[in-house]
């Protein structure tokens, strides 16, 4: 049985945090979908609140702490990443951006990413499309079609016949993301497909 590794990044600052809650719900939805397809799933949550000082020091010195290095390695080594941020001044938080500034621009190439955001009002929901999607497009990740924004009032609402509620959006986004993760070749298979340049030259000489 193939084991898939999912990593959720939460940039919430408070405890408890609605950002962490959304990350957990998305992670749970994706995990259920993969379990239905008979995949074993390992999950990990990276709380950026606990890494704030390490991130700041790394930006100044250029040297990550062991804890920060492990967090970055967890994200870049995952089969799928869930990234959730609170909205500050109509965009992602500075802590969220600072963390992903430390990720090599090619390290997430082809990795499925599910993005989410939380805020006090639904007016900030466009942050998903004008900030988060471009960020992960730059990192060459593959962003899931459905992103999830949760305003304060969404947590107590199941939706109506005209508006899809938060639980339904979480389930739909988690299912789409899980299907993308399951369809992606394993990292080992991808590495085996890469033929070293020296070998390519040798093959040409033989021809």
- Between helix 18-36 and helix 166-183 the angle, nearest 10°, is 50
Tens of pLDDT, residue by residue over 26-79, are: 999 999 999 999 999 999 999 999 999 999 999 999 999 999 999 999 999 999
In this structure, are strands 91-92 and 80-88 parallel, antiparallel, or unpaired? antiparallel
What are the chain's domains? Answer: 3-206 (3.40.50.360)
Q: Tell me if 118 sits within 8 A of 16, measured CB to CB.
A: no
Tens of pLDDT, residue by residue over 100-144, are: 999 999 999 999 999 999 998 888 899 999 999 999 999 999 999
> Alpha carbon of 135 to those of 30, 60, 144, 153: distances in Å?
22, 22, 13, 27
pLDDT of 191: 46
> Alpha carbon of 44 to those of 65, 159, 162: distances in Å?
19, 30, 35
Q: Tell me if 131 sits within 8 A of 9, measured CB to CB.
A: no
pLDDT: which is higher, 189 or 45: 45
Q: How would you write the chain as a 3-class SS string?
A: CCEEEEEEEECCCCCCCHHHHHHHHHHHHHHHHHHHCCCEEEEEEEEHHHHHHHHHHHHHHCCCCHHHHHHHHHHHCCCEEEEEEEEECCEECHHHHHHHHCCCCCCCCCCEEEEEEEECCHHHCCHHHHHHHHHHHHCCCEECCCCEEEEHHHHHCCECCCCECHHHHHHHHHHHHHHHHHHCCCHHHHHHHCCCHHHHHHHHHHC
Q: How distant is the alpha carbon of residue 118 from its chain centre?
A: 15
pLDDT of 153: 87
pTM of the prediction? 0.86
195 pLDDT exceeds 60?
Answer: no
């Amino acid at each position: 049985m193939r084991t898939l590794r999912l990593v959720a990044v939460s940039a919430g600052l408070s405890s408890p945090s609605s950002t962490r809650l959304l990350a957990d719900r998305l992670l749970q939805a994706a995990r259920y979908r993969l379990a239905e397809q008979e995949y074993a799933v390992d999950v990990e949550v990276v709380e950026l609140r606990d890494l704030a000082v390490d991130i700041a020091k790394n930006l100044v010195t250029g040297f990550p702490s062991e804890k920060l290095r492990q967090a970055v390695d967890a994200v870049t080594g995952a089969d799928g990443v869930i990234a959730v941020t609170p909205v500050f001044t109509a965009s992602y938080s500075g802590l969220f951006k600072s963390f992903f500034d430390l990720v090599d621009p090619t390290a997430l190439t082809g990795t499925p990413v599910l993005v989410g955001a939380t805020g006090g009002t639904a007016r900030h929901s466009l942050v998903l499309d004008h900030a988060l999607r471009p960020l992960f497009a730059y990192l060459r990740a593959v962003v899931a079609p459905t992103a999830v924004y949760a305003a304060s009032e969404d947590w107590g609402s199941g939706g109506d016949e005209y508006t899809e509620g938060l639980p339904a959006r979480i389930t739909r986004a988690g299912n789409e993301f899980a299907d993308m993760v399951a369809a992606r070749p394993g990292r080992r298979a991808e590495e085996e497909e890469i033929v070293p340049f020296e070998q390519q030259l040798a093959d040409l000489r033989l021809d």
